[in-house]
Amino acid sequence: MEAEERARRSGEVDAALAQRDTATALRLMEQMLAEAPDGFGLDEWRKIGAIRRATGDLRGALAAVHQALVCAPLDFFSLLAKASLQEQLGDPACGETFGRALAQRPSGDLPPGLQGAVAHAEQAYAAHQARVETNLLAGVSPVLGGLDDAARLRTERFVSNISRRTRAWHSTPTHFHYPALRENEFHERHLFPWLEAWEALTDVIAEEYAAVLRAETADLQPYLTYGEDEPLAQWRALNRSRDWTAIHLLQRGQVIEANARHCPRTMAFLQNVPQPAIPGCGANAMFSLLAPDTRIPPHVGVANFRLVAHLPLIVPRDCWFRVGGTTREWKRGEAFVFDDTIEHEAANDSDELRVVMIIDCWHPDIAPAERAAITEIIARSPNAGGGL
């Protein structure tokens, strides 16, 4: 069929559709298909699929969408149409297809006519993921009771990874990557025997924090103090902001005396924590203050050979913390250790101040001799000036 003739017939199809005469439009499209099947591309298959669907021929529409996907396997609109048709036909495969469609969703705002369809796709896919997880957990439930907490959490995460509700997250430090270290969003408590002693001091540390605030010489600084010319757009809203501030006790290995002298028991405790003492870089210990209605955007830390620990001191409701695929709420007096080189973010969605004590520590996989080697290397690195 010549291009001119094809354009004429396509115009007739469009005219019929404008008159809502789907029967005529379908007849014309079927004639075109019969006379020149090789001439049908993505647009033609999508169009005939939509017309067949409008006339109630769901299986014919699905066959047309299949051909559209042969032309363009990742076409968002065809995948969405396929999932919707499968759903109407009662095919349980629609759940996976909705997920495939959503994975190809174009960036930016969607046309108003598609917003409802995409919202339905999100709901249908979430329901599918829940069904997958329920089925998998039902199968493994007889053995879950025999697992310790850490193994149970790993098994449950394995299940949610299979359902694609979560995924694998990896350490991606901005500057210093030490090879072959375990990548855990939140590390197991037994690897850090000093955590319980830290938690036992929660009330004492909170009192010393309050003493710092009352002191006229207290040094309260913005958490971020990047230069205006540095390419850190994600931090623009919080750079040098009073919404996210820090009271440093140790900063890049230096004792901040104006603050530390009000916190004797806190400073004494830090002597028992294996912190990376690297000149100009570490160790670090601070009170982190996050103002009401403030969010810290997703980001990653500088070095994977050290981990970060939080001890929540003042935690209003509606505060949360995400590392990789795991989100948890801070709970006063319950410390944890996480890998800040895995993408993480935080939020205080309350109308009150949130305060957490933050310290760093060596990754437990690093032997004492390696710590010495890392210290020498980082101290001589041209990137050491940015701290840890």
Transcribe 228-293 into DSSP letters. TTSS-GGGTTTTT-TTEEEEEEEETTEE-HHHHTT-HHHHHHHTTS----BTTTB--EEEEEE-TT
Residues 6+ apart with CB under 8 A from 375: 276, 277, 278
Domain of 23 in residue numbering reads as 3-108
pLDDT one-digit tens code per residue, 203-245: 999 999 999 999 866 667 766 555 555 545 555 555 556 668 9
Distance CA 228, CA 347 (A): 24
Q: Do 193 and 293 have their domain in common?
A: yes
Q: What confidence tens digit (pLDDT) does each residue in 49-89 have?
A: 999 999 999 999 999 999 999 999 999 999 999 999 999 99
pLDDT recorded at residue 145 = 87
- What DSSP state is assigned to residue 346? E
Q: Among 108, 142, 164, where does a domain finish?
A: 108
193 and 104 in a common domain: no
Q: Are 328 and 281 in contact (CB under 8 A)?
A: no
Q: Report d(CA 97, CA 93) in Å as an integer.
A: 6
Quick one: residue 253, left, alpha or beta (phi over 0 = left, psi -120 to 50 = alpha)?
A: left
pLDDT of 302 reads: 93
How confident is the model over 102-111, as pLDDT tens digits? Answer: 999 999 888 8
pTM: 0.85
Q: How many CB atoms lie within 10 A of CB 143?
A: 11
Kindly state whether residues 205 and 314 are assigned to the same domain: yes
| Per-residue confidence band for 37, with pLDDT thresholds at 50, 70 and 90 | confident
In a domain, 52, yes or no: yes
What is the C-alpha separation between 299 and 172, in angstroms, rounded? 10
Residue that is last in its domain, among 66, 84, 108: 108
* DSSP single-letter state for residue 194: T
Where would I find the beta strands (DSSP E) of 162-243?
220-222
For residues 316-333, average pLDDT: 97
Q: How confident is the model at residue 9 (pLDDT cuts 50, 70, 90)?
A: confident
| Domain count for the chain | 2
Instruction: Specify the pLDDT at position 323.
Output: 98
* In a shared domain, residues 101 and 196: no
CB atoms within 10 A of CB 75: 19
Please check whether residues 242 and 343 belong to one and the same domain. Answer: yes
Does residue 149 lie within any of the structural domains? no
Angstrom distance (rounded) from CA 365 to CA 254: 26
The domain boundary, picked from 108, 140, 175, lies at 108
Percent of the chain with pLDDT over 90: 78
Helix, coil or strand: residue 331: coil
Question: Do 85 and 217 belong to one domain?
Answer: no
Residue 59's CATH number = 1.25.40.10
Contact between 284 and 336 under an 8 Å Cβ cutoff? The reply is no
Could you tell me if 236 and 355 lie in one domain? Answer: yes
CA distance 179 to 105: 35
Tell whether 142 is covered by a domain.
no
Element (H, E) at 310: strand 306-314
Do both 87 and 218 map to the same domain?
no
With both helix axes pointing from N to C terminus, report the angle between 22-35 and 3-18 in degrees, rounded to the nearest 10.
Answer: 160
Q: Are residues 374 and 278 in the same domain?
A: yes
Beta strands in the chain (DSSP E): 220-222, 244-251, 254-255, 285-290, 294-299, 306-314, 319-323, 326-328, 336-338, 344-348, 354-362
Residue 155's pLDDT band (cuts 50, 70, 90): very high
Q: What does the pLDDT read at residue 110?
A: 86
State the pLDDT at residue 231. Answer: 44
Domain assignment present for residue 376? The answer is: yes
Q: What is the pLDDT of residue 373?
A: 96
Mean pLDDT, the chain, as a whole number?
92
pLDDT the model gives residue 236: 57
CATH number at residue 259: 2.60.120.330
Residue 313 located in a structural domain:
yes
Question: Using 50, 70 and 90 to split pLDDT, how confident is the model at 273?
Answer: very high
Please report how the helices 149-162 and 112-144 are oriented relative to each other, as an axis angle in degrees rounded to 10. 140
- In-domain check, residue 350: yes
Residues 209 and 330 in one domain: yes
Q: For residues 209 and 248, what is the distance between their CA atoms, to the nearest angstrom?
A: 11
